[in-house]
Amino acid sequence: MEALLSIDSAIVTWLNQWMGEWGVVDKAAELVVSDYLVPTLMSLALMSTWFLARDPSDRAANQKGVLVALLGVGFSNLTVLIINQFYFRDRPFVGHELEMLFYQPTDSSFPANPAAVAFAIAFGVFLYNRALGVALGGLASLWVLSRMYSGVFYLSDGLGGAAIGVSITYVFSLLMRLIEPLPTTVLSTMRRFHLA
Partner 1 sequence: MVASFSVDYFILVYVAAMGVLQMIASRRDLRGMLLFPAPSIAFLVGLCAVIAAFAWFFASEPRNLSDTEGGLDGNRAASMFSAASSLAVFSTLVISSLINRSLGRDGQAPSPGLDALGQTTYLRALSGSLKGLWKRS
Site string for partner 1, 162-191 (x = CB under 8 A): ----------------------------xx
Residues 110-139 binding partner 1 (CB under 8 A) are 113, 117
CA–CA gap between residue 69 and residue 117 (Å, rounded)? 9
Q: How far apart are CA 188 and CA 157, in angstroms?
A: 40
Nearer CB in complex with partner 1: 116/166: 116
Which 10-49 positions form the footprint of partner 1 (CB under 8 A)? 30-31, 33-37, 39-40, 43-44, 47-48
Q: How far is the CB of 42 from partner 1 (least distance, A)?
A: 10
Torsion-angle region of 194 (φ positive above 0: left; ψ -120 to 50: alpha; else: beta): left
Q: Which is nearer to partner 1, 7 or 78 (CB)?
A: 78
Q: What's the CA gap between 2 and 69, in Å, rounded?
A: 35
Nearest to 14 by CA among 145, 160, 106: 145
What single letter denotes the amino acid at residue 12?
A: V
Residues that bind partner 1 in the complex, under the rule CB under 8 A: 30-31, 33-37, 39-40, 43-44, 47-48, 51-53, 56, 59, 77, 101-105, 113, 117, 190-196
